[in-house]
Amino acid sequence: MSPLSGERAGDDRAGDDRAGDVVAAVDIGTNSVRLLAARPTADGGMEPLDRQLRITRLGAGVDRTGQLDPAAVDRTIAALADYHDRWVALGAMRVRITATSAVRDASNAGQFRDAVVATTGVAPEVLSGDQEAALAFDGAVSGLGDVEGPVVVLDIGGGSTELVRGTDHVLASTSRQLGSVRLTERHLHDDPPSPSQVQAARATVAEQMEEVARLVAPQPGDVLVGTAGTVTTLAAVHLGLGEWRDGAVHGVRLSAATVADLALRLCAMPTAERVSRLRVEPGRADVIAAGALILDGVLDRFGFAEVVVSETDILDGIARSLY
């Protein structure tokens, strides 16, 4: 059996006779690169075999320079080489690699694409904002079967933020040039940021939310579901988790008051203290305050009482698209 056209998993296979069912999804984000290897189940679900995350900050400086930094590219390619070895060992026969905001915005994206192909044999897809939103929606709602009614999925990335409203299908979506890395680089220059910097960041978020109101129009009664690293990290901080455990924050509900308090605390705290006291991952600690401001801005603008945390997200959506 060979992989799907244009997707090469490798020549070696694990001994498992079910190996042909294994799929591998890779999400190349602005702040992190993630792998999910999984096997479809008979009930239409998915059995995760391996999840990995490496913070490479591929999007460092892209908002200012319009180019991917060579050192960031090297870090990302090194992660992809390790992921390639892992999906080959698991016998993955269908592989999909996607790239999002940082690569969309970079003038040297073609060189990065060539390096990914040379390393993995798989051509990365640069997702449009609409494609990114749809995959995030599918991944998030697939893991929260008990949520009823219209859902607004919020995916706060490093370079962009997607908001998608839907039921069993997408009704409206938007991708905004607003992410934790981008907002930090634009406004939160000090450590910790000054009150005027925080105010400027909040103003940027509020401006973007007016476009969300026009394009997505969240309604009273909608359920807000938050995905990706900012939201799961805030949930972990709220729960006081000393170390990450898969499933520990899935389905947790953070009230608007809790998020507002977290945003204030994080903005007042130096990065080193976020790591030492709150156990925020070092590669995320310097941008988590910006992410909290984005989440706080969404809750405030649309009057959501809470956000439901989903550990399944765009990466799961990418994997699901392969079967």
Residue 236: band (very low, low, confident or very high) from pLDDT cuts 50, 70, 90: very high
Distance CA 148, CA 129 (A): 26
For residue 303, pLDDT beyond 90: yes
Whole-prediction pTM value?
Answer: 0.84
For residue 19, pLDDT beyond 70: no
**Residue 146's pLDDT is what?**
66
Mean pLDDT of 260-276: 96
109-116: long-range contacts, CB 8 A cutoff, minimum separation 24: 109/68, 111/68, 111/73, 112/68, 112/73, 112/76, 115/73, 115/77, 116/28, 116/77, 116/80
Task: Tell me if domain 19-126 and domain 130-315 are identical in fold.
Answer: yes
Residue 125: band (very low, low, confident or very high) from pLDDT cuts 50, 70, 90: very high
- Please return the burial class of 71, using the count of CB atoms within 10 Å of its CB with bins 0-12, 13-18 and 19+: exposed
How many other CB atoms are there within 10 angstroms of residue 121's CB atom? 17
**Residue 113's pLDDT is what?**
93
The second-level CATH assignment, the architecture, of 130-315 is: 2-Layer Sandwich (3.30)
As a CATH number, domain 19-126 is 3.30.420.40
**Residue 15's pLDDT is what?**
40
Distance CA 96, CA 120 (A): 11
The domain locations on the chain are 19-126, 130-315
For residue 9, pLDDT beyond 70: no
For residue 17, pLDDT beyond 80: no
- Please name the residue ranges forming H helices in 167-313: 180-187, 195-215, 228-239, 256-267, 271-278, 282-285, 288-302
Distance CA 199, CA 14 (A): 54
Q: Which of 83-87, 236-240, 241-245, 290-294 has the lowest mean pLDDT?
A: 241-245
Distance CA 154, CA 143 (A): 14
